[in-house]
Structure 1
Amino acid sequence: MSVFLYLPERRRVAAAAGVAAALALALASCGSGTEHSSMPGTRHGSSATASVPGGFNEADVAFAQMMIPHHEQAVSMAELADGRASDREIKSLAADIEKAQGPEINTMRGWLRSWGKSPSPSMDHGMPGMDHGGETAMPGMMSGKAMAGLKAAKGEDFDRRFAELMIGHHEGAVTMAGDERKNGRSPAARKLAGAVVRTQQAEIGTMHKILDRL
């Protein structure tokens, strides 16, 4: 009877020893995995992931800072069409400009906030977009005099002025967007620049056709 009781006890001891050995092996394996995480290949993967979000350069900042007031002026021009434009296509085009460029302004402001940059270009004398003596340095931006003339126009006179001025304004935006596509780093900013080029070039073509029939 005493032998019968002794054998199970030995089995229990052996089982416990087996569990302890398995646990020790598992802990050793975990320690080995931790050491592998410091290998050059692992560090490279971690570094690559960390460098992707938020990547931008000065060209991206300049694009957003300059395109915001550029878009704002286009929206102001488009808003004047209400009650002044007589051509159906001009009215439709003005509505499209408001619908597209308003949200783009908000998007670019968001980028600048996330980058820790001012939402507006420097107000220093001579900076692009500043109006000096009726002339502007930013591509396509209208002078105060030209804007006042558009505001005073009505009917077909407004339609023609709007198309002529907006063509120049769009051409300036296309130039700025082209610079961003070549020199920018931010994928989001470069994507928006591509959309500006495609959309505004198409609208330029539409406005040339409108002028041909007015």
Structure 2
Amino acid sequence: MRNRIAVAITAVMAAGALAGCSGGADPEAAPSRTVLVPGSPGEPNETKVAGPREAAPPTTAEVVFVQMMIPHHAQALEMSALAPDRASDERVRSLASRIDTAQKVEIAAMRSWLERNPKAVLKAHGRNHGAHTTGMPGMATPPQIEQLRDARGAAFDELYLTLMITHHQGAITMVKDVLGKGTDVTVQEMARDVESTQLAEIGRMRALLAD
């Protein structure tokens, strides 16, 4: 009899786990549940937690990364928006267009993530007092942006590529500061995507400068 009960409990737990996986929901966000475990002869039954527990909250490092990356990306958009009217090399215009499209999507995703995690944002703000939005690596200075606005043709191409390489390198520095230092799957994936994409773009831009 006890063996039949144990087998039945095991089957219920397995079915519940499969249902959680097949529904397309995030397993980290699934609620934990309790199951009845028969006790030894003469002892009461017990309840134990089965299934995934609630995901750990995002870390301050992850919140800071997302908050910093939004204005960092915004400057890349500002620089790339100048390319259609100023660049002479079609490859530079094409690269700028890809950067513009990709980083607009990433900014939207980052803003959405911040909206979904107000408690983590508030906690991070209390620890950093807003200072984390200054001193971002790789950012072009106002005079450099003005110089880029004034440039045309090959001069624009060279300056855009030079500034954007530095800009991307700064983003990768920010990625290294957050990778492996957090618990949020979404932010860790964002960071890895930024790293892989921008490393590839740095390679293309260096090739264009050397051409």
User: Aligned letter for 1:83?
Assistant: D
Q: CA deviation at 1:36?
A: 2.0
User: Aligned letter for 2:151?
Assistant: A
Q: 2:95 is matched with which residue?
A: 93
Q: 1:145 is matched with which residue?
A: 143
User: Secondary structure in 2 aligned to 1:66?
Assistant: helix
Q: Distance in 2 between matches of 1:35 and 1:138?
A: 50
Q: CA 1:128–1:148 in structure 2 vs 1: closer, same or farther (change >3 Å)?
A: farther
Q: 2:131 is matched with which residue?
A: 127
Q: Distance in 2 between matches of 1:40 and 1:141?
A: 55
Contact kept in structure 2, 1:129 and 1:141, CA below 8 Å: no
User: Aligned letter for 1:171?
Assistant: Q
> RMSD value over aligned CA atoms?
2.6
Q: Distance in 2 between matches of 1:90 and 1:62?
A: 31
Q: Distance in 1 between matches of 2:101 and 2:63?
A: 24
Q: 1:36 is matched with which residue?
A: 36
Q: Distance in 1 between matches of 2:156 and 2:175?
A: 27
Contact kept in structure 2, 1:142 and 1:165, CA below 8 Å: yes
Q: Distance in 2 between matches of 1:206 and 1:157?
A: 18
Identity within the alignment, %:
39
* Higher gyration radius (CA): 1
Q: CA deviation at 1:125?
A: 9.7
Q: CA deviation at 1:82?
A: 1.5
Higher-helix-fraction structure: 1
* Correspondence 1:1-214 to 2 at 5 A: 36=36, 39-41=46-48, 43=49, 45=50, 48-49=52-53, 51-52=54-55, 55-116=57-118, 117=121, 127-130=131-134, 137-213=135-211
Q: CA 1:189–1:125 in structure 2 vs 1: closer, same or farther (change >3 Å)?
A: closer
Q: Distance in 1 between matches of 2:82 and 2:35?
A: 67
Gaps of 5+ in 2: 1-33, 38-44
Q: After the TM superposition, which of the residue ranges 74-83 and 174-183 deviates more from structure 2? A: 174-183
Q: Distance in 2 between matches of 1:179 and 1:142?
A: 20
User: Aligned letter for 1:65?
Assistant: Q
User: Secondary structure in 1 aligned to 2:137?
Assistant: coil
Q: CA deviation at 1:185?
A: 1.6
